[in-house]
Chains A and B, each alone.
Chain A
């Protein structure tokens, strides 16, 4: 297919503020590309630069049908605008002229460009307006007399007036209700077949319904670029995944999660590194290139989401009993894998083997693809565990402060003052009091929920990358359990933790996890995305787990 639009190394800045920092995009005729990202990532600027409507400094190449748009004179550009490239703007009520009726407004571009006489133009405008669902009796209305949805229909009709080759839609539907939105999406889909579209939006629903390809924009850089379907089903860039996690929808079962931190500018190196879950030395120093990988293009120094921990053929016999039977699991950076199974299925044994508390009979554990033979202090700095029974896992002889400081003491990190400071900070993170009085308490002065929070704080003291939580709520009542689960989710959001969450409760697992692995008699019998496992279990055992799970009816 011929290339309709080719953008090379596009850089846009408003004064010192760099908004787009080297964008490369190619659009083939007839395809729809969606640009997604949070507010302020430069999506709108990208659309406006193609239209040459940006007020800042623009550098790079934008070639449209072989013509360099940035080199054209204003006059030539006027010819292209509306005729060949049209744009639907974000704020409908600002864009429409309040003193014209909507019919006249839609006819205006045709008349202005001398394509049609006024009468013909009006007929065409009426046709377009009806096509996009504006009732006939509203044609003579002024913009302020229309609802938001109706204004949006007018704008879309207007953009179509001169039959442009490229249509840029900037948040076309985000202010509309779901029913109107899906109706307009349907109408846009029909026009899609003979038109090239660039859809700029933060709305993943629109993206999935409308676009063929998807570019994820962050901090003025493209983070991930590829087929919409594949990226939405299996995001490989930490930012894309975070964006999908934050989007309310009917598919995922996990609770909504934000992205840690806030967008900041300017940032050296990879723009996403301050909020990323898998930062290494190079990330703050160098800007990653957009390189092919996983059947798409990814801009990440680590080649996309890493596999943090995996087990290969991990097996444990207790005499002749096979407690864990050749288990292969993997946990990606920043994700939660729930290990679900009934008591005695080998879940805890598996966790203890990962932690080095049991020696595996066969098989091994890999941390970021490095085989772990002898666990030194470095391993435990990255991987920490919260045990089932907080009353057991906290020594009755250590006060809250002593218990929480213990990991630092074992690892020999920091001076005593630094340890105390860190302990108090982490206790605050897990929403425990930071008073002198509380620090001096002993476990038997605490409630079960408080003890488990202390245990969680203790596990977080070393700032691990992976937290293994072994039935952390088994000894707690429902309301405390809910709080602990929320806390774990928050910790994941704030710290970008990966988690292996072990539970017998598939209902809790689906709220907390991205993926579920079902364990039965020491084997992983089923593994997949949480929503898929819950909605369409393949194994009978999983079905019985789901059937036995708590329900209110």
Chain B
């Protein structure tokens, strides 16, 4: 059965909305240097200014322009999100398919590792590790990816187990094809939709985790992060700066996550066809 994920998303309202939100976010992040009016790291004496023509969202406690920081924060958020999403989907694919194809002891070992990671809450590990090594953004991405591929791997393995029993896979084997060829030519193409959903989930989780960790102070201090902005803003919650400091940041983060959630919601029938309504054949 051909599943056309593009059609699936285009035909659902939330799908379209999610895609729109995400595209806007990505555009803002990409155009940050153009749209931002100040260097987001530039500290000035004009601290805690309310919104004005010069500073659309005012300034923070060290006089940095909040609008500019919000834009650059989107870069961090999306970079971590997509980086982790990509890496963890890649790991899910590699371990899921190899488990399914190789089987035997290898399969058992990989699946027990997956079980173990699923039981242990990832946040705790990240906090512990981060407390010691103060991760740069690259290390953070790898760390999050390492902690989030396991669920996807399970799904991929289950699907690959069913795909490998297909006739065309048996036929390819009968030409002398090895595991790698089978995985690349016959299994990955049919996993496409599932991998996309897994990827979207991965991105969403990573955006959320990055913000959360930054909020806890575990972050790369050379980057602007929405989580960190919210933490800073909260310290000044007794002033009315929260209106243009805390709220826009919170809204930006929420919108990003909502966009991704909508997208995942629209794509979900792909992996769970029972969610599909009655279809006209």
Given contacts A387-B170, A393-B170, A393-B171, contact A380 B176 (CB under 8 A): yes
A397 touches B189 (CB 8 A): yes
- A349 and B50 CA atoms in complex are apart in Å by 78
Known: A397-B189, A410-B181. A392 touches B168 (CB 8 A): yes
Most chain A C-beta atoms within 10 Å of own C-beta, residue among B167, B176, B186? B176
Identify which of B167, B175, B185, B186 contacts A387 (C-beta below 8 A): B167
A389 contacts B by Cβ under 8 Å: yes
- The distance from the CB of A128 to the nearest CB of chain B, in whole angstroms, is 67
Main secondary structure of the interface of B (DSSP, over half): helix
A398 vs B2: C-alpha distance in the bound complex, in angstroms? 13
> In whole angstroms, what is the CA distance A356 to B174 when docked?
8
Q: Does the CB pair B2–A396 fall under 8 Å?
A: yes
- Known contacts A387-B167, A389-B167; decide if A395 and B186 are in contact (CB<8 Å): yes
Given contacts A397-B189, A410-B181, contact A376 B176 (CB under 8 A): yes
Is A314 close to B, CB under 8 A?
A: no
User: In the complex, which residues of chain B have a beta carbon less than 8 angstroms from the beta carbon of A396?
Assistant: 2
User: When the two chains form their complex, are residues B167 and A397 in contact, meaning their CB atoms are under 8 A apart?
Assistant: no
- CB pair A385 B174 closer than 8 Å: yes
At the interface, yes or no: B172 with Cβ under 8 Å from chain A? Answer: yes
Give the residues in chain A near B173, CB-CB below 8 Å: 355-357
A18 within 8 A of B: no
Contact mask for chain B residues 144-166; partner A; CB cutoff 8 A; 1 contact, 0 none? 00000000000000000000001
Contact A384 B172 (CB under 8 A): no
- Which chain B residues lie closer than 8 Å to A384 at the CB level? 174-175
Assembly CA distance A397 to B177 (angstroms): 17
**Chain A residues within 8 Å of B220, by CB:** none
**Given A397-B189, A397-B190, A410-B181, also A462-B168 (CB < 8 A):** no
- From the candidates A391, A397, A398, A410, name the one contacting B175 in the complex (CB within 8 A): A410
With A395-B186, A397-B189 given, is the CB distance from A410 to B172 under 8 Å?
yes
Instruction: Give which listed residue, A357, A375, A397, contacts B176 with CB less than 8 A.
Output: A375
Q: How far is the CA of A389 from the CA of B170 in the complex (A)?
A: 12
Q: Which residue of B lies closest to A388 (CB)?
A: B167
Residues of B within 8 A of A389 (CB): 167
Cβ–Cβ contact B176 & A381, under 8 A: yes
User: Is A394 in the interface zone, CB < 8 Å from B?
Assistant: yes
Within 8 Å of chain B (Cβ to Cβ): is A317?
no
Q: Is the CB of A406 within 8 A of B174?
A: no
Bound CA span A380–B173, Å: 9
**B residues apposed to A, CB below 8 Å:** 2, 166-168, 170-177, 181, 185-186, 189-190
15 further contact pairs, Cβ within 8 A, besides A356-B174, A396-B2, A458-B171: A355-B174, A357-B174, A376-B176, A379-B176, A387-B170, A389-B167, A392-B168, A393-B168, A394-B167, A395-B168, A395-B185, A395-B186, A398-B168, A407-B175, A462-B175
* A interface list, Cβ under 8 A from B: 352, 355-357, 375-377, 379-381, 384-385, 387, 389, 391-398, 406-407, 410-411, 455, 458, 462
Interchain Cβ contacts under 8 Å between A and B, 8 examples: A355-B174, A379-B176, A380-B175, A387-B167, A389-B167, A391-B167, A393-B170, A406-B175
